[in-house]
């Protein structure tokens, strides 16, 4: 679940909790909305913390070094792409 999914879950939970007056026997609709908002917030916090760890810190001059990929195929004369 990405940022968009978490925000949608929070918004739908808020709508169910605050903007509706549905009543169902044996089901607390307000509690379901609060649970949806809580799950959306937890998911958003988890996504942001994982995304923060994935960022590559820049070097001292601000550039990120390029990635050079070399492949070796036996029997070929030129192995560099």
> pLDDT tens digit string along 6-36?
999 999 999 999 998 888 889 999 999 999 9
Secondary structure tally for the chain: helices H, strands E: 2, 0
Q: CA 81 to CA 61: how far, in whole Å?
A: 28
Q: Please give the pLDDT value at position 24.
A: 85
Break the chain into its structural domains and give their ranges: 3-54
pTM for the structure as a whole: 0.61
Query: What are the angstrom distances between the C-alpha of 76 and each of 15, 68, 69, 73, 79?
Result: 63, 20, 17, 6, 6
| Dihedral sign of CA atoms 24, 21, 7, 34 in order | negative
Q: How far apart are CA 46 and CA 1, in angstroms?
A: 10
């Amino acid at each position: 679940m990405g940022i968009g999914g978490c925000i949608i879950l929070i918004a739908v939970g808020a709508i169910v909790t605050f903007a509706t007056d549905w009543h169902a026997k044996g089901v607390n609709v307000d509690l379901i909305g609060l649970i949806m908002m809580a799950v959306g917030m937890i998911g958003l916090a988890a996504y942001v913390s994982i995304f923060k760890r994935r960022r590559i810190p820049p070097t001292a001059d601000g550039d990120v070094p390029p990635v050079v990929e070399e492949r070796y195929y036996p029997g070929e004369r030129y192995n560099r792409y």
